[in-house]
Structure 1
Amino acid sequence: MATNRIYLLPMMRINKLLFITFLIAFSLTNASAQSQNKSLKVVLESVAKQFSVHFNYTEDLVENKFVKPPRLNLGLHKIIDDLRQQTKLNFNKLDQTTYIISKRIIQDNNQVNLLNEVLLSAYLTKGISKQSDASIVIEPKQLSVLPGLVSQDAFQAIQYLPGISSVKQNLNNINVRGGTHDQNAFYWQGVRLYQTSHFFGMISSINPLLANKIQIYKTAAPANYNEGVSSVIDFKHDFSKPSNYSFQSSTNFLDASLSYQFNPSLNSKLMVAGRTSLTGFLDTPTYKEYSKKIFQSTDLNLLQQQNNIGLDITQKLRYYDFAFNYELVKNNFKFHLDGLIITNQLTYEETSTDIETKSNEISQSNALLSFQVDYNFSKKHHIQASANLSYYNLEAENRITERAQQLEQANLVLDYNLNITDHLSFNDWKFLSAFNYRNLGVRNNNISISPDAQQLTKNVLSSQALITEVVYKKSKFNFRLGNRLKLYSNYNQFIIEPRLHINYKISSTVNLMFNVEQKYQALYQRINLQQDFLGLENKRWALADENGQDLLQNLQTELDLSITKSNFQFNIKPFFKRVQQINSKSQGFQNQLETFQLFGNYESFGLESLWQYRIKENRFWLSYTYQSNKYNFSDFNPQRFPNNYDISHQINFGNSIEFNQLQLALGGTFFTGKPYTPINSSNGINPDGAINFLNPNTKNLENFLQLNFTAAYVINYKQSNITFGVALLNILGSNNNINRYFELNSTESDIIQFNTKSIGFTPNLFLNIKL
């Protein structure tokens, strides 16, 4: 009874009795249901007859196996998933009418035979889990609906996790424990991903139909991951995870996606996926609201305002992505080939009354390619070799009439890696040793016409790393100790990057975890001018050892306590993070620091917590994050002041429920306003003509509140699945300010205050088909 008081304290005594009665009745119902288990063979025959399919298996696989018969009205794919879970067998789809049942072979080349335990399942919702290796895992194809989302978009979903936010409400500005976006290392199939969004921050760059596993490490990531002083986020497509469908499509008010998976031969598998925007011929309410959110406070918004003074404005936006995953398995040999192309293109044409037409363009693309070969010497020993390439390109041409200037800008990154890794495991131990060679090149161009000027820079940095890691796992205790010993071409010293993860299962319901790491980062993003690249994507990649920038260095630690009891889950996590050698140009200042280049550090400490309760298919969750985040710039007065991303209090909340084929999710976000720098109200402009700012970040914006809703309905017909629904962002129409800054007017005689708004009420419809 004491346990129940923890989370039923606010309720009346009669409600306690009713709840206990409900639990007893539910338990008795479960016990009764389990006594009615049927032979697996009988269940398979019933399913085969109902859906006109065939199951191929050997008799020894099904004899003496009993399962709880699934309801036939669930549809074939849910029935297969249910039987897969109950029997721990593989159900592999051979063709439209045939499934092959086989024993499940545990083989994961990254974690040989040492599987991670799920500490918290259905973390927020189905398809998200907390693992014993300190990671959060999202499986998009298992993901239930989340408030405001039209698809299983992992980039959108991670913002509901404690400690992760986007102060500017953009996917190209994800902040983990107060860090900037560039301090997160994003990977796709082991390749570094530099473009994380379409539509300049509004949509994930990874097709939701593509990846089937995303791992998120806030600290103490395995040693094979490089950089990421704030976090590591890894997108994977794993063919070992069976799929019930070969064809999938998804359509909403912004874009359309397709994916197709098939077997070119007996030993190979291929998946292709593509997505394209519909913005070229559909002018939907969703597109209008997204455009309003993105284009405010940019040069393109200036063009929009000129539309009434003799300028005709034409806007064309297009984005698309294409990816493939190929796998060949033969005896002890495995070969992977993976590729991804992401592209955004925006053109703004302004035609004046004298028939002169000027084109303003911005394009952003990222191409990734990976080769990987695995060879198994035995079940306990295998070797892996890989080569990968990532090419990022951001270009813009600005010919805006109001500025009477033409400007061409470009930012290119070429990143290629060679890796060889040896995995050895026996009993409860696993050993990893590896070598990594990385060559990183960055180019930045600025070409101005009238006045004529150009600035062209090209920098290259190479590194070699020796990687070692040892993993020990027992039923109640496990640890992972890893290190990267790195040597950069421009630095005459070895760099040590240790990371330690310890996990101890105190009891069947209580788990304690400790993580600590130290990492370095050679690549970062800087903002030279707020209106660079039309103000849409004004961050450009740059290398350490350029413009006086040293390597970023972090020290991060956390203690993690998880409690799980029947339908109740609780997680609390105090953390501390220090990142040194940050560049003020990377922080997005829009005050007196905007034109300065200073080097310093920031320290962030706080507490993350998650409370979750489930009654059957009804899930309630609430997360709270407290954070204190301060800069320290020794060459500025004052030295210490609040970080631009210092969100002291943040609460995410939600409720999701399933009624047979109907899925509903309602939830939202509340956080205290971000800091901004006020001006001197009595003397706003200095004698030198500059704005007279007070001390940095001494005021905060108004509190932020956004409520979102999603409803989806699932239709199962034989082997097909159709889901349609509606997603509503900001259903209250809250007028949230997410940024505030000040500029002088055109005559430099007065100060203008600019407020950047979050997205308004935004409806979206979606249709997903699986065959």
Structure 2
Amino acid sequence: MLKHHKYVVFLFLLPLFFLPFYGMAQEETAQKVAVSTYLEKLEKEFNIKFSYVDEDLKNLEFQIPKSSSLADILAAIRIQTPLRITKLNDRYYAISKNKLVDICAKVLDNYENSTIMNATIEVLGSNITQITDMEGRFQLQDVPINASIAIKHIGFKTKFITAQELTGYSPCKSILLSPSYQQLNEVVVYQFLTTGITKQQDASITLDIEKFGILPGLIEPDVLQTIQALPGIKSVDETVSDINVRGGTNDQNLVLWDGIKMYHSGHFFGLISAFNPYLIDKVTIIKNGTSAAYGDGVSSVINIQTQNKINDSFIGGAGFNLLSGDIYGQLPLSKKVSVQFSARRSSTDFINTPTYNRFFEKVFQDSEVKEKKEPNDSGEIERNEDFYFYDFSGKILYDVNDNQKVRLSFINTNNNLNYSEKTEDSNNKSLLQQTNLSFGGSLESTWSKKWNTHLNLYYTRYNLDSQNIPSETQQLFQSNQVLEKALKASASYKLGSSLNWLNGYQLNEVGITNFTQVSQPAYKSNIKSVILTHSLFSELGYESLNKKFIARGGLRLNYIKNLKTFSTFDEIILEPRINLNYSLTNEIKAELLGEFKSQTTNQIIDLEQNFLGVEKRRWILSDDDLLPITKSKQLSLGFNYDKNGLYIGAEGFYKKVDGLSTSTQGFQNQDQFNGEIGSYQVSGAEFLINKKAANYSSWFSYAYNVNDYFFADITPNKFPNNLDIRHTITFAGTYTYKNFRMGIGANYHTGKPYTKPQEGNNAILLNVFPNRINYEDPNSSRLPDYLRTDASVIYNFKMGRAVKASVGASVLNVLNKKNILNTYYRLNDQNEIETVERVSLGITPNVSFRMSF
């Protein structure tokens, strides 16, 4: 507990943040206008006529000179465009496009923004060559307007540009060259599993959605489904809303969308992602070695970033599958402002497709009980469901100038369900609505070649409102609301050619309300708690000149204060982070990663409340009493080999998480209601071999985990974790032939633990009220092994010049294997034990059609 010196450490680190901010306002350049439009104005103003071919003037612009004389204006058009203007008489002018033009440019380094002298300029297909002068400039005369020009320099990637792109600039246009690094020294794995998945130097994994290829069972780049192809990331219940990273629960993952924390990530009760992928630029997955700039998420970070550049022209697309349809686009309003939008809505409330039926059966199977019905029980139940989901998002991009960029984002996701069961004797109804509404804004500023800052603010609200209304018995109403406001400011300063220093501050205010009302007996509860977190972070990054050694180390300091009606607590937590990467040879790289992390938000699982299989998870905050702050520490060591399209990676890790409550772990035995506090520790290894070529990629992955709980107040105090999956194997491959892409793969893992009742007469405790099931030791039994095979195919084609299209088909669980995902037990009204099994998706087909333009 913090007593008297809670602010000492803030004062200690405060000097880190007094860094010299300075900026420079840049003058707006005069506005350019279309040549064709301005010629019409000149014809009216000077009573003249221009003769030209419309195609020659297409897309040509020029900057209007200060002088208003006709001669000066025509001279400006000649200089700034590849147009030749000939005066025929006092009234008529002929305009034609020059076949030969004069060009000039200045060549710069896009990293240091310094000039590049002695770069070779070559006009391809001719004998025209030149080198840049001391200022990086070159000038060529009588160059064919459609000629291609190659700009070369040792240490930089060759740049190709047309002569026409270099005309019409005063002063000469600046051309940026990118430094060229040898891939062998970096040991960066391009096309990791499939195109668009890249392993970075800091061991994080990046998904580039635009370049994404294909994975077995996927015909669209569903973000949260895709990451489950990576070693160490799985979902034991086949959902995207319950992703388990190295033995952790889903609420231990920090999911960010454009820097905004997401408390809800799935549609159709977690079976598909709530994030429309087609405006997403990239997704970064971090399992360990997290930057000190990130808080929360003791298991992983999933950072989703939408497209962040302004395009010159409109881009967009639309498509549909057997569950939903969507549309997206990016519309440039000017050279400095553009708008992004996406919208998706399900067809589930008016079309019953095979995909919808398979999904619906999986979601609502908790009401299917393995028991023999009485002879007079017809079992006829009339079921009616009205279910739909939608999401929409938007983003405004504003480039104030080259050094100041403003971004505003919002996202809204919604799930609605109205479900009823009607028999001769009863009429039961369940209602549920899940919504997540988030707004965020950021300001990126570059103050110099060495100094830049980033400011981010956001507001997010999550609501879960549910009702269970039987015809006669107890009625239950529940509501779970999360409100979070946050501010994050960071500054990066380059200390030299090898060192980078990052500093920052983050403020989070999270409020969570849990409301419950029961009709019989009358009961009402409304619990609200708020946590304030002040965080300071500082981090140094180092990269050797030969790119062989890359290191990052930092500290994050959290001051956490909980405000409650009857009690408060505050605590300071120091979290060190380390990320070391060294290239032992050109082909072999070693990684040492470590981190301490903490989080104050968790999800409790109300398994005792039956919403006919609907959501049973509610967010709560740590209170230092019933639920302490969750803390983790993790260390991993890995080696990677990459040569000639063959990648082999192996990594061993150890992770321990403290501050767990049984109410957050989903226990379904004698320990599910008591709320004991404990921990889990998991140690294991991950192995991946991936062979890739131009047209195919195949891989085999294996993960081994030993994941155990420790609860001092439970007997025995050490037993297997609910997510203790000892062995996981994936074998898959993709193949591309012309416009066809195909993928097929199989996923296998050993069964998860569960707890069975005692045998015989000891199965039920009759001497307690109410009667209870007498269980064996916690998690002493295991489910059967899991095996699922998936396949998918996509065909790309064109519909005209500007429209690209694709059709796809996929099948989940091709072999229609019945996999048991969970087994639990409950007592019925006759005091008999019922066995409830949750099984996997059966064979589930899906098809899609998409267009982009």
In the alignment, which of 51, 64, 87 is matched to residue 122 of structure 2?
64
TM-fit CA distance, 1:105? 7.9
Tell me what 2:440 maps to.
Answer: 370
Are 1:736 and 1:758, in contact at CA under 8 Å, matched by a contact in 2? yes
Tell me what 1:715 maps to.
Answer: 797
SS in 1 for 2:277: coil
Taking only aligned residues, the RMSD between alpha carbons, in angstroms, comes to 3.0
Please identify, of 656-665 and 326-335, the stretch whose mean Cα deviation from structure 2 is larger.
326-335
The 1:90–1:163 alpha-carbon spacing in structure 2 relative to 1, beyond 3 Å, is farther
Please identify, of 444-453 and 602-611, the stretch whose mean Cα deviation from structure 2 is larger.
444-453
Q: Distance in 2 between matches of 1:243 and 1:675?
A: 55
Tell me what 1:451 maps to.
Answer: 521
- Mapping of residues 502-513 of structure 1, within 5 Å: 502-513=580-591
Tell me what 1:705 maps to.
Answer: 787
SS in 2 for 1:229: coil
Does 2:422 match 1:340? no
Does 2:465 match 1:395? yes
- Mapping of residues 273-284 of structure 1, within 5 Å: 273-284=342-353
In the alignment, which of 505, 521, 528 is matched to residue 435 of structure 1?
505
Q: Matched residue pairs, number?
A: 683
Q: Distance in 2 between matches of 1:199 and 1:301?
A: 25
In the alignment, which of 814, 821, 825 is matched to residue 742 of structure 1?
825
Amino acid at match of 2:658: Q
TM-fit CA distance, 1:532? 5.4
Tell me what 1:514 maps to.
Answer: 592
In the alignment, which of 210, 218, 221 is matched to residue 279 of structure 2?
210
Does 2:631 match 1:553? yes
Q: Distance in 1 between matches of 2:307 and 2:160?
A: 17
Q: Distance in 2 between matches of 1:542 and 1:392?
A: 12
Unaligned stretches of 5+ residues in structure 2: 1-54, 62-80, 83-102, 108-119, 126-155, 166-172, 180-184, 563-568
Q: Distance in 1 between matches of 2:104 and 2:723?
A: 60
Does 2:742 match 1:664? yes
Q: Distance in 2 between matches of 1:409 and 1:571?
A: 47
Tell me what 2:557 maps to.
Answer: 485
Q: Distance in 2 between matches of 1:90 and 1:521?
A: 50
TM-fit CA distance, 1:360? 2.1
Q: Distance in 1 between matches of 2:178 and 2:481?
A: 41
Q: Distance in 2 between matches of 1:65 and 1:224?
A: 47
Q: Deviations over 1:157-178 (max 9, x none)?
A: 1111100100111111110011
Q: Distance in 2 between matches of 1:563 and 1:244?
A: 42
Q: Distance in 2 between matches of 1:451 and 1:352?
A: 25
Amino acid at match of 2:848: F
The 1:88–1:712 alpha-carbon spacing in structure 2 relative to 1, beyond 3 Å, is farther
TM-fit CA distance, 1:614? 2.1
TM-fit CA distance, 1:724? 0.2
Are 2:288 and 2:595, in contact at CA under 8 Å, matched by a contact in 1? yes
Are 1:128 and 1:136, in contact at CA under 8 Å, matched by a contact in 2? yes
Q: Distance in 1 between matches of 2:123 and 2:587?
A: 29
TM-fit CA distance, 1:594? 1.3
TM-fit CA distance, 1:701? 0.9
Tell me what 2:95 maps to.
Answer: none
Q: Distance in 1 between matches of 2:361 and 2:333?
A: 45
The 1:182–1:299 alpha-carbon spacing in structure 2 relative to 1, beyond 3 Å, is farther
Q: Deviations over 1:192-221 (max 9, x none)?
A: 011110000111011111212000000121
Amino acid at match of 1:223: A
- Mapping of residues 506-585 of structure 1, within 5 Å: 506-531=584-609, 533-545=611-623, 548-585=626-663
TM-fit CA distance, 1:228? 0.5
Tell me what 2:846 maps to.
Answer: 764
Q: Distance in 2 between matches of 1:715 and 1:677?
A: 53
Are 2:362 and 2:839, in contact at CA under 8 Å, matched by a contact in 1? yes
Amino acid at match of 2:469: R
TM-fit CA distance, 1:547? 5.2
TM-fit CA distance, 1:460? 0.5
In the alignment, which of 766, 781, 789 is matched to residue 687 of structure 1?
766
Q: Deviations over 1:97-125 (max 9, x none)?
A: xxxx9855889xxxxxxxx9662111111
The 1:558–1:104 alpha-carbon spacing in structure 2 relative to 1, beyond 3 Å, is farther
Normalised TM-score (structure 2): 0.76
Tell me what 1:25 maps to.
Answer: none
TM-fit CA distance, 1:743? 1.3
Tell me what 1:223 maps to.
Answer: 292
SS in 1 for 2:284: strand
Are 1:652 and 1:669, in contact at CA under 8 Å, matched by a contact in 2? yes
- Mapping of residues 149-160 of structure 1, within 5 Å: 149-160=218-229
Q: Distance in 2 between matches of 1:195 and 1:152?
A: 19
Amino acid at match of 1:511: K
Larger RCO: 1 or 2 (CA < 8 Å, sep 6+): 1
Are 1:209 and 1:257, in contact at CA under 8 Å, matched by a contact in 2? no
TM-fit CA distance, 1:529? 3.4
SS in 2 for 1:157: helix
Please identify, of 595-604 and 307-316, the stretch whose mean Cα deviation from structure 2 is larger.
307-316
- Mapping of residues 240-319 of structure 1, within 5 Å: 240=309, 246-298=315-367, 312-319=382-389
SS in 2 for 1:297: helix
TM-fit CA distance, 1:313? 2.8
Q: Distance in 2 between matches of 1:141 and 1:179?
A: 30
SS in 2 for 1:156: helix
Q: Deviations over 1:336-380 (max 9, x none)?
A: 1000001000111345669x9764210101111101122221122
Amino acid at match of 2:818: N
Does 2:527 match 1:467? no
SS in 2 for 1:265: coil
Are 1:560 and 1:572, in contact at CA under 8 Å, matched by a contact in 2? yes
TM-fit CA distance, 1:53? 11
TM-fit CA distance, 1:605? 0.5
The 1:468–1:413 alpha-carbon spacing in structure 2 relative to 1, beyond 3 Å, is same
Are 1:412 and 1:442, in contact at CA under 8 Å, matched by a contact in 2? yes
Are 1:298 and 1:536, in contact at CA under 8 Å, matched by a contact in 2? no
The 1:741–1:675 alpha-carbon spacing in structure 2 relative to 1, beyond 3 Å, is same
Q: Distance in 1 between matches of 2:410 and 2:543?
A: 34
Amino acid at match of 2:332: N
SS in 1 for 2:355: helix
SS in 1 for 2:579: strand
Q: Distance in 1 between matches of 2:692 and 2:722?
A: 37
Tell me what 2:140 maps to.
Answer: none
- Mapping of residues 600-619 of structure 1, within 5 Å: 600-619=678-697
Does 2:242 match 1:173? yes
Amino acid at match of 1:348: Y
TM-fit CA distance, 1:141? 1.7
TM-fit CA distance, 1:144? 0.7
Q: Distance in 2 between matches of 1:703 and 1:316?
A: 35
Q: Distance in 1 between matches of 2:716 and 2:745?
A: 40
Q: Deviations over 1:726-762 (max 9, x none)?
A: 01000000011011111122211x2122211000000
Q: Distance in 1 between matches of 2:195 and 2:257?
A: 23
Q: Distance in 1 between matches of 2:233 and 2:840?
A: 17
Q: Deviations over 1:302-359 (max 9, x none)?
A: 9xx99976764320111000101211112222111000001000111345669x9764
In the alignment, which of 198, 201, 208 is matched to residue 267 of structure 2?
198
Structure number with bigger Rg: 2
